[in-house]
Amino acid sequence: MFTRSDLFELMDAAPELGVSIFLPTHVRGAEIRQDPIRLKNLAAKAREQLEAAGLSRGQADEFLAPAIALVDDYTSWQHQDRGLALFLDGIQVRRYKLPIPLAEQVVVSKGFHLKPLLPALTADGAFHVLTITADEVRLYDASRFALSEVSSDDLPENLVEVTGESDYENPVQAAPVARPHTAGISIGNAQVYGDSPEDWRKGRLVEYVRQITSALQDRLAADAVPVVLVADAATGGHFRKLTNLGSLLAGVVETNPAVMDAAALHEAAYALVQPRFDADRQAVRERFAALHGSGDARAAAGAEAVLSAAEEGRVDTLLLAEGTSVPGDDGTTTDEVATDHEAAEAGAHLLDPAAVWTLRQGGNVYILSVEEMPVGSSMAAILRY
């Protein structure tokens, strides 16, 4: 999945002349054949913009060569997600598959245009999905749009790794008898020492889940996002008793995850976290309104105030209006609001550095509809101080 570190890398690249290309892609079906045609057409638009920026036709073709080469890469088009973003600086191409549908767009400017990528990183869409069976433990990064398996080397691999091979022996021993029996030993005269098979299996499962919860809590100490567990009822019950995740445990889907494909897994897990995310968005809007209504300086609105605070690391929560941009660069601020297309023509976007600075300092970013944005601004923030 596209990550914060990917975003920071793109922002830091800051080429003097960059080309950002966005297009929707398809995972299956006849629509796949249209995707390379879209890229070819967008590359033609990028060529026109590069020539308008002063490059010759030959220079523009060389600049775009890595992207044009993808048009005929048949294998690549068979393994796409919902969106594709390409970033070219005249030397290399950076390519990202996104779990969100991207509108067709070409931006030629100083640095790269990043706002279309931000929905993949917003605060109201990041969570983990943990699946547990006796055979394996899997951990996924998830968003509103998709999920992707991540390395889980710090988690137990399976039940056998934790408790060893299943080697239960029946602990039934017979009491002495007075005379020979031709049949088997009567269970009524037997004594049972140690755990029953049921208790023994339960003990193995409890220890397995205990080690999983401990490892997961260590991981979440540095990445505190909600978690949805998908496991059978017995495993889910032990997990609830043993975990210290508290409110970070968004819920448990009690089913066998081995019979679910990625789409079903995502749908079931997101259904549990969506109400929480919706409530978080509303709470953020209400908090800003309360601060702004009382004249508290921690409610900032407008490009100049928000950008200054973001650069200083004072933004706790950044609110951006969907479908709008603020023309300018990080050296010249303005409160003028434009559409994404108009800002693309201007060649610079103040929303990009504001989001990157906020995320780098551990802040959260929310993208709201224009109607949801407070005080009629395309950029607002709740400051730490």
Domain ranges of the chain: 4-113, 127-277, 297-383
Q: Which of 131-140, 200-209, 265-274, 344-353 has the lowest mean pLDDT?
A: 344-353
**Pairwise CA distance, residues 168 & 353, whole Å:** 61
Structural contact between residues 18 and 59, judged by C-beta atoms closer than 8 angstroms: no
Identical fold for domains 4-113 and 127-277, yes or no, is no
Look at residue 255 and tell me whether its pLDDT is greater than 90: yes
Look at residue 323 and tell me whether its pLDDT is greater than 90: no
CB atoms within 10 A of CB 240: 15
Which pairing describes strands 227-231 and 249-254: parallel, antiparallel, or unpaired?
Answer: parallel
Structural contact between residues 126 and 368, judged by C-beta atoms closer than 8 angstroms: no
Superfamily of domain 297-383: Ribosomal protein L30/S12 (3.30.1330.30)
Q: Which of 115-119, 161-165, 357-361 has the lowest mean pLDDT?
A: 161-165
Question: What is the DSSP code (8-state) at residue 8?
Answer: H
Count CA within 13 A, CB hemisphere, residue 336.
Answer: 14
Higher-pLDDT residue of 87 and 188 is 87
Structural contact between residues 90 and 46, judged by C-beta atoms closer than 8 angstroms: no
Q: What is the dihedral of CA 62, 67, 71, 77, to 10 degrees?
A: 160
pTM confidence score: 0.68
Give CA 288 to chain center in angstroms.
25
Q: Each residue of 25-59: pLDDT tens digit?
A: 988 878 888 999 999 999 999 999 999 999 999 99
Look at residue 273 and tell me whether its pLDDT is greater than 90: yes
Look at residue 175 and tell me whether its pLDDT is greater than 90: no
DSSP SS3 for 18: strand
End-to-end CA distance of the chain, in Å? 33
Place of tokens 């043993």: 242
Pick the CATH number of 4-113 from 1.10.600, 1.10.760, 3.30.960, 3.30.460: 3.30.960
Structural contact between residues 110 and 17, judged by C-beta atoms closer than 8 angstroms: yes
Place of tokens 């969100």: 100
Pick the CATH number of 127-277 from 2.60.40, 1.20.120, 1.10.3470, 3.30.420: 3.30.420
**Pairwise CA distance, residues 339 & 321, whole Å:** 10
Q: Each residue of 55-72: pLDDT tens digit?
A: 999 999 999 999 999 999
DSSP string, 195-242: --HHHHHHHHHHHHHHHHHHHHHHHHTSS---EEEEE-HHHHHHHHHH
Structural contact between residues 94 and 75, judged by C-beta atoms closer than 8 angstroms: no
* 143 to 125, 139, 251, 330: CA distances (angstroms): 5, 13, 16, 29
Look at residue 242 and tell me whether its pLDDT is greater than 50: yes
Cβ within 8 Å of residue 116, ≥6 positions away: 22, 85, 102, 103, 105
Place of tokens 């923030």: 381
Widest pairwise Cα distance in the chain: 108
Q: Which of 43-47, 188-192, 247-251, 317-321 has the lowest mean pLDDT?
A: 188-192
* 130 to 63, 141, 205, 270, 299: CA distances (angstroms): 43, 9, 16, 12, 37
